[in-house]
């Protein structure tokens, strides 16, 4: 902030210094020239004041956007992790279902009572495992992370739009180079 103020003060002094030789060279300046110089100095002062005010605001907005981006990334990783766990459980359930189908085939051809009893026990255990598909808890966590991600992404988009608006405002307020 002090550095920006110093820059503003130096620029103002430079403008005034440049105006002084004009006055010294022409002992009787006309009013139009003096008015043009005063207008230019005034515009310079307004631009400096605005940049001094906008600079810290822009830095703050950028820091907020970085923090928000980190939140979005963290929630996205958590969501990906839960989805991976759900996919792994679904793959296990598919394998169990395939194993049950194999046991059913073996049961249809089994003659020995002991072997049949063992296959039926294994089949019952596998059916219990298959019934425990993806946890409701995992599905709930997935839903929670998905909605959190959507909300945090919306907040990040809003911050980016505000920064874009600030940049457009700065661009509009600066005079075009001559």
In tens, the pLDDT along 112-150 reads 888 888 888 988 888 887 776 567 888 999 999 999 999
Measure the CA–CA gap between 152 and 69, rounded to whole angstroms. 8
Phi, psi for residue 74 in degrees, rounded to 5: -65, -45
Asked if residue 82 lies in contact with residue 145, where contact means CB atoms within 8 angstroms, the answer is: yes
Indicate the pLDDT class of residue 24, thresholds 50, 70 and 90.
very low
Range with the poorest average pLDDT among 79-83, 93-97, 130-134: 130-134
Is the alpha carbon torsion for 53, 55, 56, 61 positive or negative? positive
Confidence of residue 106 (pLDDT cuts 50, 70, 90): confident
**Residue percentage of the chain with pLDDT more than 90:** 33
pLDDT reading at 18 higher than 80: no
- Secondary structure (DSSP) of 127-158: HHHHHS-S-HHHHHHHHHHHHHHHHHHHHHHH
User: Helix, strand or coil for residue 175?
Assistant: coil
CA distance 145 to 143: 6
Digit-coded pLDDT (tens) for 36-51? 999 999 988 888 887 7
Q: Do 152 and 75 meet the contact criterion of CB atoms below 8 Å apart?
A: yes
The pTM of the full predicted model, rounded to 2 decimals, is 0.60
Distance of CA 111 to the CA centre of its chain: 65
The number of angstroms, rounded, from the C-alpha of 142 to the middle of its chain's C-alpha atoms is 20
Domain residue limits, the chain: 1-46
How crowded is residue 103: how many other Cβ atoms within 10 Å of its Cβ?
19
> What span, in angstroms and rounded, lies between the C-alpha atoms of 176 and 161?
24
Section 45-72 average pLDDT = 87
Cα–Cα distance, 49 to 10 (Å, whole number): 13
CA-to-CA distance for 160 and 61, rounded, in angstroms? Answer: 8
């Amino acid at each position: 902030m002090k550095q920006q103020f110093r820059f503003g003060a130096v620029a103002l002094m430079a403008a005034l210094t440049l105006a002084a030789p004009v006055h010294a060279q022409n002992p009787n300046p006309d009013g139009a020239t003096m008015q043009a110089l005063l207008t230019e100095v005034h515009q310079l002062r307004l631009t400096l004041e605005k940049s001094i005010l906008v600079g810290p605001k822009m830095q703050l907005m950028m820091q907020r956007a970085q923090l928000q981006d980190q939140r979005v990334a963290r929630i996205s990783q958590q969501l990906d992790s839960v989805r991976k766990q759900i996919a792994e459980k679904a793959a296990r359930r598919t394998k169990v279902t395939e194993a049950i189908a194999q046991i059913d085939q073996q049961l249809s051809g089994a003659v020995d009572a002991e072997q049949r009893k063992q296959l039926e026990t294994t089949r019952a255990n596998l059916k219990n495992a298959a019934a425990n598909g993806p946890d409701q808890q995992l599905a709930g966590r997935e839903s929670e992370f998905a909605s959190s991600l959507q909300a945090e992404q919306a907040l990040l988009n809003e911050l980016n739009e505000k920064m874009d608006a600030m940049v457009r405002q700065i661009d509009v307020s600066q005079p075009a180079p001559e």
